[in-house]
Structure 1
Amino acid sequence: MSNAALGLIVGMALGFAGYFGGFGAFLLVAALGAIGFVAGRLLDGDVELGDFFRPRDRRR
Structure 2
Amino acid sequence: MKKPKQKKTKEIRTSLLRRLAFLDRATLDIDARTVELAFSSEQPVSRWWGEEI
For this structure pair, what is the TM-score category when the shorter chain's length is used for normalisation?
Answer: under 0.3
TM-score by length of 2: 0.27
TM-score, normalising length: structure 1 = 0.26
Bigger helix share? 1
* More strand per residue: 2
Larger radius of gyration: 2
